[in-house]
Amino acid sequence: MSNIRLVLAYLRAGLFWVGFILFTILATFLLLFTFPLTFRQRFYFSHIWNHLTLAWLKITCGLGHRIEGLENVPDEPVIFLCKHQSTWETIALQVHLPPMVWVLKRELLWVPIFGWGAGMLNPIAINRDNAKQAIQQLLDQGQKRLASGVNIMIFPEGTRTLPGKKGKYRIGGAMLAEKAGCPVVPIAHNAGYFWPRHQFVKRPGTIQVVIGKPIRPENKTASEILREAQDWIETTVEEIGRTGA
């Protein structure tokens, strides 16, 4: 990348981050006043932040996205198991998917501003320092969310991975699917090539997202459910590669 292009890339990224911070502060402030509303009303109200952020990302950094397979999301509560490479998927996916809650580490709720807004959306906040407790929290709270008709989004790798790399897939989401009898819907994407973790600059292009067909839990163990989801996600991520760059 030439010096001029590099400077422009940093300027565009800087503009994006300024807007992102302002949008986050404004949206969180407004979201705090939605406590009398139902969860679904708060969920859709929160999309103000998502839409503003995605539009600003496109304007400043030239980064858009395309989603395939929305028809694979059934009209029943499901558990989404999604590849985690970037911050992008935490912003974009809930715009396109039915009402859902996120499974996240409880420390995120302690972050000023961001954590306050996240707490208004009924996340399943787990203690990742205690694996046994985290699993039980996921099973107990997850079954309640699913029984109320709300979907659940889980990053089975737990943390962001670099493009081309695979983290250890944790079994909690598959255990919840087995116990609750709800299908798993796998999601693959290549956001890490465009919005890399721990990097300031965003690369222009089109992020590709593919939603797989539901994995039914009937007559399957949690290990079998997880293996099927993992194989599909990793194979699809490899097929997508740098498409859209």
Provide the pLDDT for residue 4.
84
Is the pLDDT at 214 greater than 70, yes or no? yes
Rounded Cα distance between 13 and 11, Å, is 5
Share of the chain above pLDDT 70, in %: 99
Q: Which pLDDT score is estimated for 5?
A: 87
3-240 is classed in which CATH architecture? Answer: 3-Layer(aba) Sandwich (3.40)
| Mean pLDDT estimate for the chain | 93
CA atoms within 13 A on the CB side of 197: 12
pLDDT tops 90 at residue 182: yes
| pTM of structure | 0.93
Domain boundaries of the chain, sorted by first residue: 3-240
| 191-205 confidence digits (pLDDT tens) | 999 999 889 999 999
Q: Which residue has the tokens 């496109």?
A: 58
Give dist(CA 225, CA 179) in Å, integer. Answer: 12
Q: Do residues 129 and 105 make contact, with C-beta atoms less than 8 angstroms apart?
A: no
Whole-number Å distance between alpha carbons of 162 and 105 = 20
CA–CA distance from 53 to each of 22, 33, 36, 189 (Å)?
A: 10, 21, 25, 19
The mean per-residue pLDDT over the stretch 129-139 comes to 87
